Structure 1
């Protein structure tokens, strides 16, 4: 039977951006949600700002939690389910860390016992507040928290992969304690797959939590190398979905394309609709896709200063809540492609990261071979070198042919 793919959007409030939590306006939120629901979407991803919700390690503001629940209830009234990211963390080039983790109180957010205990309490509290809401999907630990753990962050909290795994396991357990039976996960930006010294690893993404999240941004060197209409660019999201499967222990582990957007100037505004449609069409050809959540709902207001230029225009809707061409393109795809039953991807590209994960990054052997196979119509997936001869593993995934990057590029 075909399965229903979830289509949603990362909710960026049209008034005040995420600072709206300081001046929470239910009427404005409802109007935003009306404009999202009108696109035919079925869920939103919501971002409490961690310092606003937990300004002291032992103070989680009850009023802030009530406002989060009110937002979730307003979403339910419009047929929208809600995923909540807890530790914000990093958003649109800004870091939002509580004062009790920095400067005079500088402590590692991944390893300090008191900080981690505070994080557990915070995530458990948010999850418990929403646990009885039928439209609550579950918690994401935070948005791209791996960016705090290594360069290019200017002041990283250095940890080992083992420490990252223990931190993720502990915080996922806190989410499950607060809201048993919901889907709880964590989310890394693509350094987890591409950066050799990143302590958050592909194994963490593909094996911890109830499903795998991938975040696809073509400003990472993909569009620069391949152009706005290049195969690698229009299939980057699909590539990350299929790359994640190399490390998954469950051959049918669901994968959530949790963030993807059309960043200018690499994707000029007049081409955003075409990029949106191509990206979503291509990722819908990936088996075991849980859903697609576009970044983002509404533009950032020009009244707000110091954002990178590309951030201001990423919304599907303007600040006046009017749909842009990309929104109309996404709405068409949603209406036409709600059911999802792609054929298995029978050709697997071998992934060997002995020399480092950068072989999977733009310009790397795995990345470029995947793009070439895709351009040739092969519909590739990936398999770890250690599993390339595992007949049971290959059969469980429907793989009938295994090729190496060298064989592709000869």
Structure 2
């Protein structure tokens, strides 16, 4: 997954037939119809989500039939020219937690530190990766979707760990993916508390230094749209900001960044403005060097016959539940059809002092409303295309040159 080529366009696949519960009533014809509607948009990849309790209902049982169905989905996508990245530990999706019974209630144990659970997770991830390793359209594994949300508040029943334990767990999971499918692009993904909360055990250094590339998830309901409006510069630049913020911690100056989730959530982005927001967000993200790709959330709207989703989750699709293309889908299709090239370097670096590099205890300033966030956005509003630089790297001329940064400014300068 080189970042030197043109960024890719894809989508997080939400099946029309039963949402992610489709694994319980797997229908390959319905999946093929969904995939046809996505290929028609000109996309080149999908991110798909096995449900952990369905695939591994017992600690020592990974269901062969479930894996066979996953392979069938990947093969069907490949037949349509769509590459596939597979998440493993679901984990958490659209406000619902999917954890197996052998980790809860009478069997309650920490999913990050209990030795039996960790070994079972590793075996599961390795089994999925191994089954897909021979498929040319298989991109690699993501450990799970925002699994970091299990590690602290606001989760109602968190599995508490510290920073060192989080890093140990991530490396163990990624090693398992590599064992199953060597030399694929295996990554992990946190929601943005990892960038914004200095007490959270999953850190920016974890995201930017562990795995084949950095994955960021951009959601403007995190306070950005509430503070700046649906069409404010910070709202439209939020995804680009997270991409650039992540690079401050990367040791490789050209480490690829995957905008793995981004969407237009109502009412923070009114439905009639979703297309404009999508257009602005994509344009801003494509102006970031070393972007591997953009994977929109999500493919199809959630069936309103399914209950208890937060209201915003029902309408995030690029297509309706009956596979009609929505205005935001038309925007993404137009972008996917355009010639693209890697973005030019960003020459102005905004200095960030988040405390020690590994723990980043002062990262709250990076959140919407924080001093660093707001300064970065002021620069963006002036058209200066800011990058992010840790204060520890300001005196490293070789590092700055490698990123193409010619000037550094502080928050106080902006």
TM-score between the two structures when normalised by the length of structure 1: 0.98
Q: Which residue of 2 aligns with 1:334?
A: 336
Structure 2 residue 222 is matched with structure 1 residue 216? no
**Aligned equivalents of 1:171, 1:341: Cα separation in 2:** 31
Contact 2:103–2:111, Cα closer than 8 Å, also in 1: yes
3-state secondary structure, aligned to 2:50: coil
Contact 2:7–2:342, Cα closer than 8 Å, also in 1: no
Q: Which residue of 2 aligns with 1:391?
A: 397
Structure 2 residue 73 is matched with structure 1 residue 71? yes
Structure 2 residue 413 is matched with structure 1 residue 407? yes
3-state secondary structure, aligned to 2:187: coil
What RMSD in Å do the two structures reach over aligned CA positions? Answer: 0.9
Contact 1:150–1:197, Cα closer than 8 Å, also in 2: no
Q: Which residue of 1 aligns with 2:383?
A: 377
Q: Cα 1:53–1:2, aligned 2, differ >3 Å: closer, same or farther?
A: closer
3-state secondary structure, aligned to 2:248: coil
Q: Give the superposition deviation at 1:357.
A: 1.0
**Aligned equivalents of 1:195, 1:395: Cα separation in 2:** 30
Q: Give the superposition deviation at 1:219.
A: 0.2
1:321 is aligned, of 301, 313, 323, to 323
Write out per-residue CA displacement over residues 238-281 of structure 1, whole angstroms, 9 at most, x where no aligned residue.
00000000000000000000000000001011100010011001
Q: Give the superposition deviation at 1:2.
A: 7.1
For 1:18-167, list aligned pairs within 5 A: 18-167=20-169
**Aligned equivalents of 1:78, 1:362: Cα separation in 2:** 40
Structure 2 residue 271 is matched with structure 1 residue 265? no
**Aligned equivalents of 1:198, 1:102: Cα separation in 2:** 23
TM-score between the two structures when normalised by the length of structure 2: 0.97
Moved over 4 A (4+): none
Q: Cα 1:193–1:226, aligned 2, differ >3 Å: closer, same or farther?
A: same
**Aligned equivalents of 2:58, 2:412: Cα separation in 1:** 54
3-state secondary structure, aligned to 1:250: coil
Q: Which runs of 5+ in 2 are unaligned?
A: 356-360
Structure 2 residue 316 is matched with structure 1 residue 310? no
Q: Give the superposition deviation at 1:339.
A: 2.0
Q: Give the superposition deviation at 1:4.
A: 2.1
Write out per-residue CA displacement over residues 137-180 of structure 1, whole angstroms, 9 at most, x where no aligned residue.
00000000000001011111000000000000011000000000
Q: Which residue of 2 aligns with 1:346?
A: 347
Contact 1:2–1:339, Cα closer than 8 Å, also in 2: no
